[in-house]
Amino acid sequence: MSYILRRLGTMIITTALSVVMIFFVFRVIPGDPAIIILGTEADEAQIAALRSQLGTDRPVLEQFVTWASSTLRGDLGISLRFNRPVAEMITSRLRVTAPLAIYAITLVVLVSIPLGVALALIRTKTVNLAFSYLSQLGMAVPSFWIALLLMSIFGVGLRWFPLGETVDWERDVAGSLRALTLPAVAIALPAIAIVTRYVRSGLVDQLSQNYMRTALSKGLSFYRAVYGHALRNALMPVTTVLGILFADIVAGTVVVEQVFALPGIGLLLVTAVNYRDFPLVQGIALYIALVVVVLNFVVDLLYRVIDPRVRLHKPA
Amino acid sequence: MMRLPPPVSTRKPSVTTWGLVGLIVGATLLSLLYTPYAPNAVDVPSRLQPPSLAHLAGTDEFGRDIFSRLMAGGRISLAVGFGAMAISLLAGALIGALAGYFGGWIDDVLMRLMDALMALPGIVIALLIVAISGVGFTNTALALGVMGIPVIARVTRGAFLVGREMEYVLAAHALGASPWRIIIAHILPNQVTTILVAASINLAGAILGEAGLSYLGLGTQPPDPSWGRMLKEAQSFIGVAWWYAFAPGLTITLAVFAFYLLANELQRLAQPVSLL
């Protein structure tokens, strides 16, 4: 219990620091938001008006307190461009981004674990070398290029998947999944390259452990020894990697949503940056940071469930 | 009889790795002196031509030679990448060295800050910075540089945690060397390869990041070609000219791949000869 409380404490500190950082990034970096939004030719009165709307004419500390207290209450401010509450805009875009991210993570887990196991069991020189190059190539491929290629082959060429449309979940679940397939594959691919590496090397380590010899010598079949003993231990570090991957997946959605013109949070963020819509940019960044931190916390707890040996003072 | 790994000096450098890095950097440098066509030369009659002997990677919608533009695009993509790496390396190594050497509350404070920075995906940090400081060469490099700081800081901290326990550090301390001297003259040179490996991975990430930002229209601005920018421009022609989007994407992949391989190579060359 005290472990969970401590982790909760660290999580809150990390979140608080992210909040402070996101706020001060907007103050530290040179440039007056009001002038950036209106352009250098705007007249003084307009600039002053926008400054007071943004609150940037007040002392920094006062701005921070105002902003932080409303943020804590879930009020992320009003978008300058769309004149709507930022929190509400983010929530409405979640309908696209959340399924997309979950779809991508599911693909990563479903593909990398069997693939990693297979590669750990078949370790010939050629396979090892080919995998080492292929996985590095997989990490090097830009997800938006994969997205463009998938789009031109399966969308434009073969017409297997619909392009540029999002289907309502309530009306057609299969159709929604189909529409999200190409983007999810594009986001998942680089992550698959990374996770497969971890599964493979984790399992290779476990296969040479003494308990494997014991399991085999007491007559357990190789298959049961691998799946019942080695794999379970090998997946421990993978859990941690999955936690880090959430950030990658979110980053992937930002660019890939642009390729497929999917109206998710990523597309909203890019729009917000293009319009210099500071409250919106700030709100989305904050939201993403929160999601990543909370998911990492959940992964940490999961880790504890899978492996009761893990204690705060002797992490595996 | 146990076989010992060969000493560092006789290990063969990897032909693939150095060849690929040489090709990418070489072609980019060569573009300063020579490109098959002028990168921005418009030639409307030969627009959107598929790859041929005259145009190795085909032409774009203005009839510009894609191969020449890729060569020239490397200047910006690599310059932004190296610039970003320099920023990540300087700031990250400093933070990591202080945290790892001094430990205690300095370590706690600095590393919690890095954790907070890591909670934001790199591209989001970069977009935040671009939103405030605007688009352009310097801002892109700055944005991508900040994005890479936490990883370098962590790696450097780890290297310094190992390094500060060494006996020569104790000896230097006993001789009255100042912390700065110990950090810079004693620990850093001995841990430099670990940091360089991280820097090479960081460079690969920065090239990928520049491509991403430029693809979003928030990095390199026209008419300068950069690999990501070219992909953005190619998107409208994806149904009619497959080669247009293919060549820049492949170039980005190979460049990033090259620096990942370089990281492996550095790691391999740096491994000390073990007697076990």
Q: End-to-end CA distance of chain A, in Å?
A: 18
Q: How confident is the model at residue B185 (pLDDT cuts 50, 70, 90)?
A: confident
Reported confidence tier of residue B275, pLDDT bands at 50, 70, 90 = very low
- Please tell me what DSSP assigns to residue B235: G
Give SS3 for B65.
strand
CA distance B203 to B200: 5
| Any B CB within 8 A of A154 CB | no
Compute φ and ψ for B65, nearest 5 degrees: -75, 115
Question: How large a percentage of chain B has pLDDT more than 90?
Answer: 20
Tell me what percent of the residues of chain B surpass a pLDDT of 70.
93
**What are the two backbone dihedrals, phi and then psi, of residue B77, each rounded to the nearest 5 degrees?**
-60, -45
Please report how the helices B15-30 and B242-270 are oriented relative to each other, as an axis angle in degrees rounded to 10. Answer: 130
Q: Report A:219-278 residues touching B (Cβ under 8 A).
A: 247-248, 250-251, 254-255, 258-259, 269-270, 272-274, 276, 278
pLDDT band at residue B276 under the 50/70/90 scheme: very low
Helices B188-215 & B137-163 angle (0-180, nearest 10): 150
Pairwise CA distance, residues B203 & B84, whole Å: 8
DSSP helix/strand/coil, B219: coil
d(CA A132, CA A203): 16
Chain A residue closest to B232 (CA)? A259
Could you tell me the two tokens for A305? 């469930």
Q: Bridge partners of A85?
A: A78
Note the pLDDT of residue B184: 87
For residue B89, pLDDT over 90 is answered with yes
Q: Is the pLDDT of residue A169 over 70?
A: no
**What separation in angstroms does the CA of A149 have from each of A155, A262, B261?**
9, 17, 24
Give me the residues of A, 107-146, that contact B with CB < 8 A. Answer: 136-137, 139-142, 144-145
Question: How is residue B8 annotated by DSSP?
Answer: G
- Provide the shortest C-alpha distance from residue A16 to chain B (in Å): 8
Min Cα distance A34 → chain B (Å) is 10
Q: What is the mean pLDDT of chain B?
A: 84
Q: What's the confidence (pLDDT) of residue B152? A: 93
| A196 within a domain of the structure (yes/no) | yes
pLDDT reported for residue B1: 47
Q: Which residues is B65 bridged to in the sheet?
A: B59
Using CB atoms within 10 Å of the CB of residue A219, give its burial: 0 to 12 exposed, 13 to 18 middle, 19+ buried.
exposed
> Which chain B positions have a beta carbon within 8 Å of A156's beta carbon?
238-239
pLDDT at position A233: 81
The enclosing domain of A252 has a CATH number of 1.10.3720.10
Q: Kindly list the distances between the CA atom of residue B126 and the CA atoms of A267, A281, B123, B148, B219, in Å, as whole numbers in the listed order.
A: 15, 12, 5, 10, 10
Structural tokens at position A34: 């009001």
Which segment, B53-62, B101-110, B127-136, is predicted with the most confidence on average? Answer: B101-110
> pLDDT tens-digit profile of A66-116?
878 887 787 888 887 788 888 888 888 888 888 899 999 999 999 998 998
State the pLDDT confidence band at A316, using cuts at 50, 70 and 90: very low
Token readout for A17 is 């620091």
Is residue A77 situated within a structural domain?
no
CATH (one of 1.10.3720.10, 3.40.50.720, 3.40.190.10, 3.40.50.970) for B15-29+64-270: 1.10.3720.10
CA torsion sign, B83 to B84 to B87 to B88? negative
Confidence check: pLDDT of A172 > 80: no
Mean pLDDT of B1-18: 65
Is the previous residue joined to B223 through a cis bond, with omega within 30 degrees of 0? Answer: yes
Give the list of residues 6+ apart from residue B90 with CB closer than 8 angstroms, or none.
none
A residues 8-67 lying closer than 8 A (beta carbon) to B: 13-15, 17-18, 20-22, 25-26, 29-31, 33, 36
Is the pLDDT at A311 greater than 60, yes or no?
A: no
Output the six-digit token pair for B108. 């706690």
**Total domains present in chain A:** 1
Q: pLDDT at position B5, please?
A: 56
Name which residue leads in pLDDT, A194 or B7.
Answer: A194
Backbone torsions φ then ψ of B12, nearest 5 degrees: -80, 135
pLDDT of residue B272: 55
Q: How far is B180 from chain A (nearest CA, A)?
A: 28
Condensed to tens digits (0 to 9), the pLDDT of residues A9-30 reads 888 888 888 888 777 776 666 5
The CA distance from A39 to B82, in Å, is: 31
At A123 the pLDDT is 82
pLDDT at B7: 53
Extents of the domains making up chain B: 15-29+64-270
Nearest to A250 among B121, B133, B249 (CB): B121
Residues B89, B194: contact at Cβ < 8 Å? no
Inform me whether the pLDDT recorded for A273 exceeds 80.
Answer: yes
Q: Report whether pLDDT(A315) > 50.
A: no
Between the CA of residue A57 and those of A21, A34, B190, what are the distances in Å? 20, 10, 50
Domain ranges, residue A137: 99-275
**CA of B209, closest CA in chain A: separation in Å?**
9
Specify if A173 maps to a domain: yes
Q: What is the pTM of this model?
A: 0.85
pLDDT tens string A249-262: 888 888 898 888 88
The pLDDT tens digits of the residues spanning B118-133 come to 877 888 888 888 877 7
* Mean per-residue pLDDT, B150-163: 89
Average pLDDT, chain A: 81
Q: What is the spatial distance between Cα A243 and Cα A11, in angstroms, rounded to a whole number? A: 14
What pLDDT score was predicted for residue B92? 94
Q: List the structure tokens of B88.
A: 């990540």
Beta bridge partners of residue A78, listed in sequence order: A85
- A142: three-class secondary structure by DSSP: coil
Judged by CB atoms closer than 8 Å, whether chains meet at A145 and B253 is answered as: yes
* Minimum CA–CA partner of A139 in chain B: B257
| For residue A314, pLDDT beyond 60 | no
Examine residue A65 and state whether it is found in any structural domain, yes or no.
no
Is A40 domain-assigned?
A: no
If you average pLDDT over residues B7-31, what whole number do you get?
A: 80
CA B36 from chain center: how many Å? 27
Nearest CA in chain B to A158: B239
Instruction: Specify the DSSP class assigned to residue B218.
Output: S
